[in-house]
Amino acid sequence: MRGREGGRHSASSGHSVGGRPTRVLIALFGPTAIGKTEIAVELADLLRAEGEDPVAISADALQVYRGLETLTAAPTADQLARLPHRLVSFVPVTDTFSVGEYMPMAHREIDAALAAGQTPIVVGGTGLYLRAALCELDLRPPPPPGLRERLERELAVRGSEALHAELARRAPKLAHRIPPNDRSRIVRALELLAMGADPEPVRGAENRLWTEETRIPTVLVGLTMERAKLYRRIDERSERIFAAARAEVLRADAAGASRTAREAIGFEELLRGDLEGMKRASRRLAKAQLTWMRKLRGVTVIDVTSRSPREVAQIVLDRVRRAQRG
């Protein structure tokens, strides 16, 4: 990933504020339960003390849903008061949502913040959404109206294994790489087949995902933590959410929550009463997020194991100021 030194600059990113060096986009990425929101809020306080007007742009695939705030650990009212967040709690729980829809929204929010003289902070735990917020990704075309809804109805009636078997008949090599319970990838592959498109990943697309230039000069910070402590935090948060989000999930389920909304960790587990399953899924997610972080180019990694959110925020701010000075 190319940051301040190699990124493609937008017209709105090159001016200074009050004589301060060139502003940059700040991006915070890290595994679930590591405390990204808390650190972003502390960073906002530090920026505000220096006369800046910070705003967060969420890069989380599930915090977009309105009505799942507890389950997805969306920013609290107090956190929102200290740091306004864009692209959270705005999609009805019955709607599907994709990175293809998210990317232009994120770009508009970032550009609007810069044009208004604000300091945007992209905060996320969904690697693809983070990349979509920072870069111009070459995404596959969306399905025509009604196609996804038809496939999702088939998924609900026939189940993921039956649709996976259909995919295996039509694209056996691809089906071999997709687990039978990976509903999103199965549906997307069948969509592409129905559209007459090649469902196989574009050659080299995975590498381009990591080498694509950022649209705007970016200071990218990755957060890490000693594994045992992170897993304890994950387990403790899973227990809190499991106890607090039951009514929320039941309402969403009764309302006909979409396939993508149901992908929130804890949704299906809570319906089954499976707390341990929720913990396992959260740990798997954290492992995948750390893998994403290791692939990012130009990332400044901060170990937060023994540091408070304010201490981490100060380190981030120092890194930003160094980048601004060149």
CA distances from 267 to 26, 36, 218, 227, 245 (A): 31, 22, 34, 25, 9
Residue 41 pLDDT: 99
* Per-residue pLDDT in tens (0 to 9) along the chain, 326 residues: 333 333 343 333 344 444 455 778 999 999 999 999 999 999 999 999 999 999 999 999 999 999 999 999 999 999 999 999 999 999 999 999 999 899 999 999 999 999 999 999 999 989 999 999 999 887 766 778 789 889 989 998 999 999 999 999 999 999 998 888 888 889 989 998 998 877 775 444 444 445 568 899 999 999 999 999 999 999 999 999 999 999 999 999 999 999 899 999 999 999 999 999 999 999 999 999 998 888 887 899 999 999 999 999 999 999 999 999 87
- 10 SS3 class: coil
Residue 183 pLDDT: 87
Residue 262 pLDDT: 95
Of the CA atoms within 13 Å of residue 161, those in its CB half-sphere come to: 0
- Read off the tokens for 82: 């200290």
Residue-wise DSSP of 36-104: HHHHHHHHHHHHHHTT--EEEEEE-SSTTEET-TTTTTPPPHHHHHHS-EESSS-EETTS---HHHHHH
- 122 SS3 class: strand
Q: Is 218 one of the annotated binding-site residues?
A: no
Q: Is 31 one of the annotated binding-site residues?
A: yes
Residue 26 pLDDT: 98
Q: Is 37 one of the annotated binding-site residues?
A: yes
Residue 213 pLDDT: 81
Q: Is 36 one of the annotated binding-site residues?
A: yes
Contacts of residue 28, Cβ cutoff 8 Å, sequence gap at least 6: 36, 39, 40, 43, 121, 122, 123, 124, 221, 223, 316
Quick check: 307 and 297 in contact, CB under 8 A? no
User: Which residue in this structure is represented by tokens 């300091």?
Assistant: 119
- 27 SS3 class: strand
Query: 188-194 — which CB contacts under 8 Å span 24+ positions?
Result: 188/140, 190/151, 190/163, 190/166, 191/143, 191/147, 191/148, 191/151, 192/140, 193/167, 194/143, 194/147, 194/151
Domain ranges of the chain: 11-137+216-325, 138-208
Distance (Å, rounded) from C-alpha 103 to C-alpha 251?
29
Q: Is 34 one of the annotated binding-site residues?
A: yes
Q: Is 173 one of the annotated binding-site residues?
A: no
Q: Which CATH architecture has domain 138-208?
A: Orthogonal Bundle (1.10)
User: What share of residues in the chain are helix, strand, coil (percent, to 5)?
Assistant: 50, 10, 35
Phi, psi of 304 (to 5 degrees): -100, 10
Q: Is 214 one of the annotated binding-site residues?
A: no
Distance (Å, rounded) from C-alpha 55 to C-alpha 57?
7
DSSP 8-class letter at 261: G
314: amino acid identity, one letter: Q
Residue 318 pLDDT: 98
Q: Is 32 one of the annotated binding-site residues?
A: yes
CATH of 11-137+216-325, one of 3.40.50.300, 3.30.360.10, 3.30.420.40, 3.40.50.11540: 3.40.50.300
